[in-house]
Chains A and B, each alone.
Chain A
Amino acid sequence: MTDVQLRATGIRKLFGRFVALDGIDLSIDRGEFLTLLGPSGSGKTTFLMTLAGFLEPTSGHLEEAGIDITRQPAEVRKYGMVFQGYALFPHMTVEENVAFPLKIQKIGAAERRQRVGAMLTTVGLEAHRNKRPSQLSGGQQQRVALARALVFQPKVLLLDEPLSALDKNLREQMQGEIKQLHQKTGATFVFVTHDQTEALALSTRIAIFDRGRLQQVGRPDLVYERPVNRFVAEFLGRINLLPLHEARCDGGFLRGRFEDCTLTAPAGDGAGQNGASDNSIVAVRPEYMALSASRPDADGWNGVPATVANRIYSGATSLLELRTRSGVELCLDVRSADASAEFRPGADVWATWPVERGFALPEKSSH
């Protein structure tokens, strides 16, 4: 049973003639970790700023627990907010920064001290309480920003690319901490990022934006394994796309010719009836492809002949780049310990994958 906390209906935002958001419908459940993912300029930050109350949508509305809050200013909504670049108050100490929202709410000095102390302990900064933000490292500043945004126990925490300024190791560590804070506080987290690995690792659901439109919303494994269009498929990671001739839908499967081979893939939710199909591309993630020296003869496998063009060794795995006869480029990840990693550039091979690991996509992105 889901409990909708925020519901956006038909949110449109224009900046002059530029359409930043083009009819966003999205429900955010209480306590979920929703990531808004997309390239820069896709509208994800604009949508977050609309949720926060810093931007008023040109049309459409926003509800919190059934109450219209479209025109409510940010200071009334009181969602915690963490910014890229932290936005700490430089003229206040760590302790004063964290105490700021409690002071605004006129919470007494004793309780304030106790709550600030508890929050600083949670983020591991009690030793730095009297320092100024400029005396802290990037990771520490980010923890202060999180503490400040969570200390007044907001119902919703909005995070705008909070980790993009940190280096890789620290970023991974902070991802873990943010996930723990989410579990500990039970607040609804809405997190903006352009980094798909971050989105996949953190979220309970991902909402993918492109050019002001919501492309797909769903669990990380579903959007990764069953993207609804090429944009989502390509944005979430490397993908092999094989265009089919005479593609037909038949018993829940898409079938068609690629070069001299017949390929089959599950038709997906979109395709209902048998017959001609809008979908005409078979997509396969590189990690589900395997190599063999001969044509696969087992049932339920697809195979495409190709030549090894390049091999990039990266420790545990190797990336192999292949080219089919008609020049379609394929890539696949293999474990460096496997026999298939032994194929050298120039070798003729078969790229194979189980039918159920592929999926059907329409030719064009749905714009």
Chain B
Amino acid sequence: MIWTRRGVGYLALIAPLPVFLALAYGVPFFGVAGWSLTLPEPGLSNYERVFTDPIVLGVLLRTLRICAVVTIVTTAAAYALAYIWVQGSPRQRIFVEFCILVPFWISTLTRAFGWLVLLYNRGLVNTWLQDLGVTTEPLTLVRNEFGVIVGMTHFLIPFAVFPIASAMRHLDERVLLASRGLGAGRLRTFWSVFLPMTMPGILGAALIVFVFSLGFFITPAILGGGRSVMAAEFVYVQLFQTANWGLAAAISVVMVAIVAVLVTLLFRLTRVEKLMG
């Protein structure tokens, strides 16, 4: 049936995208996978290093840890924002829209340097804290994991707001009224009805944030200051500074595998959620 004239026409219309994706993602990925098995010599030695070398393992674990924290903080903050966006007064909605959209117009680099200005030892936050007498010594807020987490969270919140807000918008208002009519106060209604019913949106947002954050490069490079090195920056160093292409390729393949496993898991979860809904 697909080979009728009309079928061929439709195929021709959708073909450019899969062809482009195959060329731009598939081919390079298999190339990288090839390097990981052949450079500097054929074998699994690069993968062996990924899972045994304490430095590489340290970077991977730090990456997963930072991403986990960023995911939790971002999703929680985005949930609060989305709640005001969907349920708030018109003025609150406009304010939230402003907060979500403005960061999109500012480049990653500018935002990272912005945080640096705010958070470094003689930055605004530390100056104020000392002027007000809250602290005597400057706090180390950048060039560590804290700075990286702040910068990444700030970048990722808008991406998490959209799936959560969509889940909140599709929720039938009458279900909330029913809950209150049955004697549940606002807080109880939120915990027993609103939160579980928007859980698919939360899981979707968490997945997007986690996958995005795994590949972060600029923000951790600037706010981590070479101390809190994450996987993407480590791969960059292996490629362009130590010329260790095989190891860099193996780390990349492992990261792709982690993402693939996570995506599969989450699709399973959301399908279960849909069955419930």
Contacts and interface: CB of A to CB of B under 8 A. Distances in A.
Interface string A44-87: 00000000111000000000000000000111001111011101
Interface in B103-141: none
Interface in B225-253: none
How many interface residues does chain B have, given as a range? 20 to 34
Interface stretch (B36-44, B57-65, B174-182, B215-223): B174-182
Contacts, number: 78
A80 B172 CA distance: 18
22 contacts: A53-B181, A54-B177, A54-B181, A74-B177, A75-B180, A75-B184, A78-B182, A85-B172, A85-B174, A87-B175, A87-B177, A89-B193, A91-B277, A100-B179, A100-B192, A101-B183, A104-B188, A105-B183, A132-B275, A148-B178, A149-B181, A149-B182
Interface of A: 52-54, 73-75, 78-81, 83-85, 87-91, 100-101, 104-105, 132, 134, 145, 148-149, 152, 158
A74 to B, nearest CB: 5
B183 A91 contact: no
Interface string B55-89: 00000000000000000000000000000000000
Contact of B182 (A73, A85, A90, A152): A152
A83 B179 CA distance: 11
B175 A104 contact: no
B52 to A, nearest CB: 44
A134 B172 CA distance: 14
A83 B177 contact: yes
Interface in B147-187: 172, 174-175, 177-186
A160 to B, nearest CB: 8
B181 A52 contact: yes
Contacts of B203: none
A24 B121 CA distance: 68
Is chain B's interface secondary structure helix, strand, loop, or mixed overall?
A: helix
Contacts of B175: 87-90
Contacts of A132: 275-276
Interface string B15-44: 000000000000000000000000000000
Contacts of B180: 54, 73-75
Which one of B172, B177, B178, B185 has the greatest number of beta carbons of chain A within 10 Å?
B178
Nearest to A96: B192
B197 A91 contact: yes
A158 B182 CA distance: 11
Which one of B172, B174, B193, B275 has the greatest number of beta carbons of chain A within 10 Å?
B174
A241 to B, nearest CB: 39
A87 B197 CA distance: 12
Given A53-B181, A83-B177, A90-B197, 16 more contacts: A54-B180, A73-B180, A75-B184, A78-B182, A81-B182, A85-B174, A87-B178, A88-B175, A89-B193, A90-B175, A91-B197, A91-B276, A104-B188, A105-B183, A134-B275, A148-B178
Given A90-B197, A134-B277, A100 B182 contact: yes
A81 B184 CA distance: 13
B90 interface: no
A97 B174 CA distance: 15
Which one of B183, B186, B197 has the greatest number of beta carbons of chain A within 10 Å?
B183
Given A83-B177, A85-B172, A87-B172, A148 B276 contact: no
Contacts of B276: 90-91, 132, 134
B196 interface: yes
Contact of A81 (B172, B177, B193, B196): B177
Contact of B277 (A54, A79, A90, A104): A90
B154 to A, nearest CB: 32
A182 B193 CA distance: 28
Chain A to chain B: the 8 pairs with minimum beta-carbon distance, closest first: A81-B181, A87-B174, A101-B182, A87-B178, A104-B183, A91-B196, A83-B174, A74-B180
A64 to B, nearest CB: 15
Contacts of B199: 91
Given A91-B197, A104-B184, A152-B183, A81 B277 contact: no
B175 to A, nearest CB: 5
